[in-house]
Each structure stands twice: as structure tokens, then as C-alpha cells.
Amino acid sequence: MRGLNNLKLTKKLPAIIVLCALISSTSIMVLTTFRAKDALVAAQTGQLEALREARTKQLADYLGSIEEDLLAVADNPFTLSALRAYNDGWNALSSNQTQTLQKLYITGNPNPTGEKEKMDAASDGSKYSDAHATYHPWFRSFLYAREYYDIFLFNLEGDLIYSVFKELDYATNLNTGEWKETDLGNAFRAAQRNGKAGEKFFFDFRPYAPSYDAPASFISTPIVDEKGVIEGVLVFQMPISRINHIMQAWANPAKPTSSAVTI
């Protein structure tokens, strides 16, 4: 501005006008840039919020479908018949059920670890194996179709009288045995002690030793008879792969995923 003081007024005015125009133009450009940046940030924030809501709904819908599966299976007369048949077979073994059944269905099972469910029944001719031959194929098919990790049936004493996958918790007692302090034991007791038809009890993911310390989550419900009297407990071991898929899609929004989970 010191240079302008040496100019005549007639020359000062155009220079001042040009300078003001430059300042005004620069201000407008800066303001426009900030507004565009704010609009971009707002748009990105909106997209992330919409993605978060979509993933939250997707996860909630999937967990809701698991609850529906659990209650539908528990309410199915086939399940009550299976529970009674397995329990009768368990009692017919008289004693050493854990040792006997783990030998028949785990150590004596010709299928490798992780594939023990492929055997329809042991050939020992026991009442338990007759029940297994009748009911196991259905539970196995249901587990495959819905991609659950495992499905369990308990009698009221806490004996794990049936498991699809036959891990080390199979044929043990979850009230007194090695795995009583696990969330599978907690899931059984929650349904057995407090359960009514339609009640659900959920235990979140934690490392589970019989599943080789893989994260395991359990959801349980009572199995009741025609009069509403509890006869046993049904438990699902939740499918971590499906939930991981949803959460990974959330963490990587650039990767295209479906907004609905098919089960």
C-alpha cells in the first residue's frame, strides 16, 4: 500500500479496485473450497452412518433368525421325541456313559477330527445307537443347512446326551464334569433353572476349550412337553463364520456385500 501513496488519485482508484477485487476473489475461492470440503465430509459421514445402520440391521436380522431357528426346533415334536429316545438310550447304558459313548463316537469313530458327525451311528446295537441312527441325520442336515457350529441336547441332570459334532464335551455332565464352568454349562443351567417355553438365553463369544479354544457363543432354550413341563434343554453353538463375515464387511465398506443374509 505504500506504493499507492505516491500515485495520483486517478491512478490510485483503479489500483485499489483491482486489489479489492483480487482480495474478494481470493476470499470467495477460499470460502468455496471450505464449503466444498464440508459438503464432502458431510456426504462421507452420511455414507458411513448409512453403512453402519445397514450392518447393524443385518447383524440384528441374522441373530433374530437364529432365535427363530432355536425356538422352531425346540417346539418341533421331532426334537422332543429325539430327546426322549437319546435319554432312554443313555439310561440303558447303565453306567460309564461318558467313556462308552466317547469311545463309540469319538475315538472309535473312523472319521477324522472335525468330521465325526459323518457317522450315522455306531454298530454296537445299543438302544442309544438305535436312537442316533434315527435322529442324527436330521440334526446333521439342519446344522449343515444353517451353518451352525454344533447342536446339543441335554437331559435335566445336565448330561450332554447328544451333540452333532462330538467334541470332548460330548457325553459329559455340564453340572459336575470338566466343562461345568464353561458357557455351555451356563447356557444349560440358565434354560434348565429359569426356562419356560419360548425363553432364550444368550452367552457371547469366548474361547471354548472343547472347540480347541476357538471363540464360541451359545444360545439355549428349554424343551417342554405337551403340558409345558420341561424335559430337557436345546443349545446351539453359534456360527462365528457368518458373524465374522458381517463384521468384516462392516470393517471393509469398499468391498461390495449383500444387505441381506441368506440362511
Assigned domain for 17 exists? no
Q: How far apart are the first and last CA of the chain?
A: 75
Give CA–CA dist 148/47, Å, rounded: 32
Assigned domain for 39 exists? no
Assigned domain for 45 exists? no
Assigned domain for 236 exists? yes
Assigned domain for 228 exists? yes
Q: CA 11 → CA 8, 20, 24, 25, 86, distances in Å? A: 5, 15, 20, 22, 106
Give all strands (DSSP E) within the chain, no chain letters.
150-155, 160-163, 201-208, 214-224, 230-237
Assigned domain for 258 exists? no
CA angle 150, 208, 109 (to 5 degrees): 50
In the chain, how many domains are there?
Answer: 1
At 216-253, the pLDDT tens digits run 999 999 999 999 999 999 999 987 777 777 766 555 55
Q: What is the CATH number of the domain that holds 198?
A: 3.30.450.20
Residue 175: domain span: 62-245
At 122-180, the pLDDT tens digits run 999 999 999 999 999 999 999 999 999 999 999 999 999 999 999 999 999 999 999 99
Assigned domain for 175 exists? yes
Assigned domain for 180 exists? yes
Amino acid letter at 237? Q
Name residues whose C-beta falls within 8 Å of residue 184's C-beta, 6 or more positions apart in sequence: 152, 160, 169, 174, 208, 210, 216, 218, 235, 237
